[in-house]
Amino acid sequence: MLSSVTIDNFRGFSHLEMRDLGRVNLLVGMNNCGKTSLLEAIQLLVARGDLDSIYSTADRRGELLPPSYPTTTASLPEVDIRRFFHHYEFEIGSSFYVIGVINNHEEPLTATII
């Protein structure tokens, strides 16, 4: 069970901490305040950065780039990775991270542009 989550530089969040989460949590807020982004960060965390999770997240938001050259069915589409970073700003060394405490064990996920 996820008991806390900390998010830095991910989508619309420069920093977000949620503690003392329970088995059931209710996210309430106006449109475009970050509810979906919070769930996406948690999804990436529990998927441990699996590329399928990144592609499905980008696909749901229409953030896959159209192919710039003919591709085969085996090739993966390109992801507009800028959109995963706070204010779409990134350069070499930029990173976002999500840390969750799951079953009393800290699970970190960091993505860094190299």
| pLDDT tens-place string over residues 1-52 | 999 999 999 999 999 999 999 999 999 999 999 999 999 999 999 998 788 8
Pull the structure tokens for residue 26: 């209710």
Tell me which DSSP letter residue 94 carries: -
pLDDT digits (tens, 9 = 90+) for 53-79: 988 999 999 898 876 655 555 566 788
Q: Give the Cα separation of 70 and 43 in Å (integer).
A: 31
* pTM of the predicted model as reported, rounded to 2 decimal places: 0.85
